[in-house]
């Protein structure tokens, strides 16, 4: 149900990995003299920096620059850590109007999610369910988590969701679902309520 | 100047020749409170569509969805032009765009017919959906 920063992690790890490999390769080439031959860089095992470094780092602007760079890297790192927190990222209000000049039609996606949950909860074997809508009213994205008991026919539940629940949501929104995800959990809990029984029998007192 | 939240409908006629009348050629004014327009809009939504409102509860707490209840409506008047906001509940899985578009048309037409106010916009917020049964999604043991 919750989204993690998988894409962000892959992107930044790829960028950092490529940078580290490139720097490492450059250092190796420099160390064995290949870079000196190719690009006329400094000779291997010779001192590149000459002079007094203490005097250089004693200048106030160098310390300030280092501090700023450090803070920037620290903030970026912190943002990356914060991005690791799983988020639901629910959609904002769905806009269901075609012509805004006549008025707006708004629907909170949680209203639709609740309707979907109510429908799924009536399926045989379903203990509880949670629905989450993302995307827009024109391109809705539904994520479902359904908990069934251990006696439930999971294939039947999936079939009923695919042939009844999802088409009905698409019918209500009048657009096909862009994506739908279904997570099934099995629980040992029993259903807390019974089943509707249409009885026509005789009651004997 | 009308009191805030009211709309004055001028009734034209021959009028009296008395000096008390401020406007020559009029018999007076019918002042329509904004609440009247709101209630008419809510009643039209309730009677002429499948939309519902909330019933029961105390001071808005504990109210339950009820398709037979009058939806909550509010109006913003600017002269003879009204913008309505309606909060409704609807049947699921009815096509919501079609249903709300039809509801908007009905409200605008009927409120204009009944009050003479020009309804320019009707904002609709769907606050709940029901399958039409009394079930809360759980099975019932009978």
* Confidence category of residue B103, pLDDT binned at 50, 70, 90: very high
Q: What is the pTM of this model?
A: 0.71
* Confidence category of residue A105, pLDDT binned at 50, 70, 90: very high
Residues A10 and A53 in one domain: yes
**Cα–Cα separations (whole angstroms), residue B115 to A22, B24, B37, B41:** 76, 24, 7, 10
- Evaluate if residue B36 carries a pLDDT over 80: yes
Q: Which domain holds residue A165?
A: 94-187
**Cα–Cα separations (whole angstroms), residue A107 to A93, B78, B90, B106, B132:** 6, 26, 11, 20, 18
Q: What is the mean pLDDT of residues B123-140?
A: 72
**Cα–Cα separations (whole angstroms), residue A160 to A119, A135, A150, A153, A157:** 10, 24, 17, 11, 5
- Mutation pick from B75, B126, B133 vs chain A, by most beta carbons of A within 10 Å, is B126
CB-closest option in B98, B100, B135 to A122: B135
Q: Which of residues 10-69 of B touch A (CB under 8 A)?
A: none
B6-12 vs B26-33, strand pairing mode: antiparallel
What's the CATH code of the domain at A152? 3.30.300.30
Question: Residue A198: inside a domain, yes or no?
Answer: no
Q: Lowest-pLDDT range, A95-99, A129-133, B27-31? A: B27-31
CA distance A76 to A68: 12
* Total tally of structural domains belonging to chain A: 2
* Closest residue by Cα to residue B124 from B142, B108, B141, B140: B108
Answer yes or no: CATH 3.30.70.1350 is held by domain B34-130. Answer: yes
- Evaluate if residue A196 carries a pLDDT over 80: no
pLDDT tens profile B84-100: 999 999 998 899 999 99
Enter the DSSP assignment of B139. Answer: -
Last residue of a domain, one of A28, A52, A83: A83
Distance from CA of A108 to the nearest CA of B (A): 7
CB contact under 8 A, B139 and A115: no
Distance from CA of A86 to the nearest CA of B (A): 28
Which residue in chain B has the smallest CA separation from A115? B129
Instruction: Give A108 or B137, the one with higher predicted confidence.
Output: A108
Distance of CA A20 to the CA centre of its chain: 27
* Confidence category of residue A193, pLDDT binned at 50, 70, 90: low
Strands in chain A per DSSP E = 94-95, 105-107, 126-135, 140-149, 179-187
- Evaluate if residue A11 carries a pLDDT over 90: yes
> DSSP of B32-75, one letter per residue?
EEHHHHHHHHHHHHHHSSS-BEEE--BTTBS-EEETTSPPEEEE
Torsion of the alpha carbons at A168, A171, A177 and A180, rounded to the nearest 10: -10
Mean pLDDT across chain A, nearest whole number?
88
- Evaluate if residue B112 carries a pLDDT over 90: yes
CB contact under 8 A, B100 and A115: no
pLDDT tens profile A21-67: 999 999 999 998 888 888 888 888 888 777 788 888 888 899 999 99
Q: Lowest-pLDDT range, A34-43, A174-183, B118-127? A: A34-43
CB-closest option in B94, B122, B135 to A172: B94
Segments making up each domain of chain B, as ranges: 34-130
Which residue in chain B has the smallest CA separation from A113? B129
- Mutation pick from A92, A102, A168, A199 vs chain B, by most beta carbons of B within 10 Å, is A102
Q: Lowest-pLDDT range, A99-113, A170-184, B27-41? A: B27-41
Q: What is the mean pLDDT of residues B98-114?
A: 93
Do A129 and A147 contact (CB within 8 A), yes or no? Answer: yes
pLDDT at B131: 82
Do A175 and A140 contact (CB within 8 A), yes or no? Answer: yes
């Amino acid at each position: 149900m919750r989204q993690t920063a998988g894409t962000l992690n892959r992107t930044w790890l790829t960028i950092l990995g490529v940078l580290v490999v490139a720097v490492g390769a450059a250092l190796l080439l420099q160390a064995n003299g290949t870079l000196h031959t190719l690009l006329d860089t400094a000779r291997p095992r010779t001192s590149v920096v000459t002079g007094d470094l203490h005097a250089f780092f004693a200048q106030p602007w160098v310390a300030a620059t280092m501090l700023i760079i450090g803070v920037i890297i620290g903030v970026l790192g912190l943002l990356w850590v914060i991005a690791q927190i799983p988020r639901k990222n629910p959609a904002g209000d769905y806009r269901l109007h075609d012509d805004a000049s006549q008025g707006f039609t708004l629907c909170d996606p949680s209203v639709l999610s609740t309707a979907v949950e109510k429908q799924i909860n009536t399926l045989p074997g379903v203990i509880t369910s949670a629905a989450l809508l993302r995307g827009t009213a024109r391109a809705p994205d539904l994520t479902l988590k359904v908990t069934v008991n251990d006696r439930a026919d999971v294939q039947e539940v999936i079939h009923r969701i695919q042939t009844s629940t999802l088409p009905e949501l698409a019918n209500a929104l009048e657009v096909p679902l862009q994506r739908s995800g279904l997570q099934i959990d099995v629980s040992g809990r029993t259903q807390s309520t019974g089943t509707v029984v249409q009885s026509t029998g005789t009651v004997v007192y | 100047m009308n009191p805030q939240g009211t709309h004055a409908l001028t009734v034209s006629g021959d009028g009296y020749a008395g000096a008390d009348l401020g406007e020559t050629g009029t018999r007076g004014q019918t002042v329509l409170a904004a609440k009247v327009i709101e209630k008419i809009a809510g009643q039209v939504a309730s009677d002429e569509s499948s939309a519902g409102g909330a019933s029961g509860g105390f001071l808005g707490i504990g109210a339950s969805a009820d398709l037979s209840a009058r939806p909550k409506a509010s109006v913003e008047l600017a002269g003879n032009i009204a913008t309505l906001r309606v909060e409704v509940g609807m049947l699921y899985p009815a096509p919501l765009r079609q249903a709300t578009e039809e509801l908007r048309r009905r409200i605008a037409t009927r409120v204009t017919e009944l009050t003479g106010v020009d309804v320019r916009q009707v904002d609709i917020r769907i606050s709940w959906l029901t399958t039409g049964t009394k079930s809360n999604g759980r099975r019932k043991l009978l």
